[in-house]
Amino acid sequence: MIKKIIIFLTYILLFFNSNLLSNENNKELKIGLLAPFSGEYKDLGQSLMFSIQLALDEINDSNIKIIPRDSGSGNIEKLNNSIQEIKDSGARVIIGPVDSENFDVIEKYKGLIFISLSNKNPEIRENIISIGISLESQINAIEKFIIKKNKKKTIIIFPKNQYTNFIEKKIKNIKLKNYKIFRYSSDPKVLTGEIQKLTNYSQRKNNLESRKKILEDKDDYASKEELKKLEQMYTLGEVDFDSIIIIDFGSSLKSALNSLIFSDVSDEKVIFTTVNQWFDKSIFYENSVKNLYYPSVDLKNFSNYNKKFTDTFNTQPNDVTILAYDALGLVYYIWSKNNGITSINDFLIKEKFAGKIGTFTFKDKKVFQELKIYKTAQGKFKKD
């Protein structure tokens, strides 16, 4: 443990000496980095710093000076002190914080611009831009995909938990013409019964048994052949939707997927889509859906970034660190384009910005990512 800390601190010193020292040159782009270098999430802080170093290496402009400071892990006093130190150094733009929990703190620093990695809200505030993969961006991508596939009836399902109100607010502006909302229990024991009601499973099961009884009394060839086919089926009749959006993740998502398959919802007839997937390979093995679609960051860029990160630092990056990489690229682009950064309005650009995770657009004072649709099929991730 001590050896790891020494290596980490040594790297910080090298990092400072190569790129991160600041001076009073007006041509410099000074950028603060707020990351948890101590406390519970210090490993994330280290990963974020390494990501910034990769971006610096690729940009290769010695005029960029990074001022990293410890945001701590829930330590408001440390956070305020770090912001003040960054401000005193002459930086006007700060990459961080990682999430939205401290927005009420950073909103007080009106003269600074914060590029947060949070995905909670895409709206650009007075001094905060959040570039995380927002639910709005993911829903937009899924909407376009469902329309492209010519699907007419969509069901949007999500669990009843602490995120329910948040999700309901985010899907208010959904553009699909014909959709319904279904909320399910977070308890897996209750979930399957609820999904069976949603899919009219009992009636479809009865339809099958009734049809089989009719055919059993017939002796013609066509009836016998139909009966053979029905013997291989679990239900008879279609569900009342042709696409489904599951707003869930982790084990709860897998439970919902398995309940749908158990209720005999065919992923050959119904398009299954979900959110919040970053190429999680466990999705291959822990659910029965053969074709699961979801919007995500660019797979090729994501894979190349992870490989370069691992090869350079001999450690795996935290998934969120690719956002820090793009954040630095975005700040540098705006700074170069305008020969400086004077206010947050400089970021309200009409053109698109291509980053590693995808393409950013800035419209109606919101940040959106133009995400690609991928699917899990035959043990691989494939772009649709």
Both structure tokens of 225: 């052949």
What is the domain-level CATH number for residue 260? 3.40.50.2300
219: three-class secondary structure by DSSP: coil
pLDDT value at residue 20? 45
- Do 289 and 314 reside in the same domain of the chain? no
302, 45, 120, 163: CA torsion to nearest 10 = 100
Strands 359-363 and 366-370 turn out to be antiparallel
- Do 157 and 274 reside in the same domain of the chain? yes
For the chain, state the CA radius of gyration: 25
Strands 271-274 and 292-296 turn out to be parallel
Q: Which residue has the tokens 């602490």?
A: 162
Q: Where are the alpha helices (H) located in 113-240, listed in sequence order?
A: 135-148, 164-170, 188-198, 201-216, 221-231
CB atoms within 10 A of CB 197: 12
Number of domains in the chain: 2
Q: What is the rounded distance in angstroms from the CA atom of residue 236 to the CA atom of residue 208?
A: 5
pLDDT value at residue 250? 84
What's the whole-number average pLDDT of the chain? 87
* Inside any domain, residue 327: yes
25: amino acid identity, one letter: N
* Inside any domain, residue 141: yes
Both structure tokens of 53: 């170093």
* DSSP classification of residue 311: H
Residue 193 has pLDDT above 80, yes or no: yes
- Do 119 and 6 reside in the same domain of the chain? yes
Instruction: State whether the Cα torsion 144-149-153-156 is positive or negative.
Output: negative
- Do 257 and 324 reside in the same domain of the chain? no
The tens digit of pLDDT for each residue in 64-81 reads 999 999 998 778 899 999
- Do 283 and 208 reside in the same domain of the chain? yes
203: three-class secondary structure by DSSP: helix
- Do 292 and 315 reside in the same domain of the chain? no
- Do 47 and 187 reside in the same domain of the chain? no
Phi, psi angle pair for 292, to nearest 5°: -115, 125
CA-nearest of 372, 371, 379, 199 to 291 is 379
Residue 7 has pLDDT above 50, yes or no: no
pTM of the model: 0.84
Residues 6+ apart with CB under 8 A from 229: none
Q: Which residue segment(s) compose the domain that 78 sits in?
A: 2-133+302-364
The tens digit of pLDDT for each residue in 253-277 reads 889 999 999 999 998 899 999 998 7
Is 250:221 a contact under the CB 8 Å cutoff? no
Is 203:180 a contact under the CB 8 Å cutoff? no
CA-nearest of 18, 65, 144, 247 to 10 is 18
- Do 80 and 168 reside in the same domain of the chain? no
The tens digit of pLDDT for each residue in 87-103 reads 999 999 999 988 888 89
Q: Which residue has the tokens 């450690």?
A: 315
Q: What is the rounded distance in angstroms from the CA atom of residue 285 to the CA atom of residue 253?
A: 13
* Inside any domain, residue 330: yes
94: three-class secondary structure by DSSP: strand
The tens digit of pLDDT for each residue in 209-260 reads 999 999 888 888 888 888 889 888 888 899 999 999 999 988 888 899 999 9
Confidence grade of residue 377 (pLDDT, cut at 50, 70, 90): confident
* Inside any domain, residue 274: yes
Is 316:306 a contact under the CB 8 Å cutoff? yes
Q: What is the rounded distance in angstroms from the CA atom of residue 203 to the CA atom of residue 377?
A: 31
Strands 64-70 and 353-354 turn out to be unpaired
pLDDT value at residue 19? 47
pLDDT value at residue 108? 93
pLDDT value at residue 285? 65
Residue 206 has pLDDT above 50, yes or no: yes
- Do 240 and 329 reside in the same domain of the chain? no
* Inside any domain, residue 369: no
What is the percent of the chain where pLDDT is above 90? Answer: 54
- Do 196 and 256 reside in the same domain of the chain? yes
Residue ranges of E strands in the chain: 29-35, 64-70, 93-95, 113-116, 128-130, 154-159, 179-184, 243-246, 271-274, 292-296, 353-354, 359-363, 366-370, 372-377, 380-383
The tens digit of pLDDT for each residue in 12-30 reads 544 444 444 434 445 899 9
CA-nearest of 334, 139, 168 to 243 is 139
* Inside any domain, residue 239: yes
- Do 170 and 266 reside in the same domain of the chain? yes
Residue 8 has pLDDT above 60, yes or no: no
* DSSP classification of residue 123: B
Residue 47 has pLDDT above 50, yes or no: yes
Q: Is 276 left (phi over 0), alpha (psi -120 to 50) or beta?
A: left
* Inside any domain, residue 264: yes
- Do 149 and 291 reside in the same domain of the chain? yes
> Cα angle vertex 299, ends 366, 382, to 5°?
115
